[in-house]
């Protein structure tokens, strides 16, 4: 592998991401110089904000959704248990939990190293991320607010 990122390939991947969003007729904010795209999806309950970016150096695409709430200090251990169990249920992607702040992010990545990708790969990433975040965000919020117990959360996600 070369020490210098292949910016032409990275830009091609970035344009495929935009194509996937354009094909869905979704609105987004993009920054070509940073190869980032931000968009919001309205699911069944809580609006979901996403950040997608091309990491040219590592030859990966990252799709992140930062949940719009945090676990209060007295419920941070519950947040750790819940995000760990939620991630265990997943086939693709993971929840990242910052115990010092109680913040949760959902993350999916795909590598384009030595690969030919199509817009369908990004359609899958977007669909999978949206459905996963939509499924878990309200349950995690209810746990953070104390309206459900950890036992209820765990039985809801099985």
* pTM of the complete model beyond 0.85: yes
DSSP state of 91: S
> Which pLDDT belongs to residue 2?
55
CB 47 within 8 A of CB 40: yes
Listed in sequence order, the residues at least 6 apart from 138 whose beta carbon sits closer than 8 Å to its beta carbon are 44, 45, 46
Can you list the residues of the chain whose pLDDT is less than 70?
A: 1-2
CB 13 within 8 A of CB 55: no
Helix 119-145 crosses helix 7-23 at what angle (to 10 degrees)?
70
What is the C-alpha separation between 23 and 17, in angstroms, rounded? 10
> Which pLDDT belongs to residue 158?
80
With tokens 């519950």, the residue in question is 78
Q: Which of 56, 54, 53 is nearest to 4 (CA)?
A: 56
């Amino acid at each position: 592998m070369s020490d210098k990122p292949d910016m032409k390939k990275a830009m091609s991947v970035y344009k495929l991401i935009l194509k996937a969003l354009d094909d869905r007729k979704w609105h987004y904010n993009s920054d070509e110089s940073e190869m980032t795209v931000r968009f919001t999806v309205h699911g069944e309950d809580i609006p979901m904000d996403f950040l997608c970016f091309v990491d040219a150096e590592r030859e990966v695409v990252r799709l992140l959704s930062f949940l719009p709430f945090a676990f209060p200090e007295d419920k941070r251990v519950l947040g750790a248990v819940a995000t760990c169990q939620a991630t265990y249920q997943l086939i693709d992607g993971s929840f990242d939990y910052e115990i010092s702040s109680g913040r949760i992010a959902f993350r999916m990545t795909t590598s384009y190293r030595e690969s030919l990708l199509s817009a369908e790969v990004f359609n899958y990433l977007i669909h999978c991320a949206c459905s996963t975040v939509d499924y878990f965000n309200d349950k995690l919020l209810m746990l953070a607010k104390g309206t459900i117990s950890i036992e209820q959360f765990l039985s809801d996600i099985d």
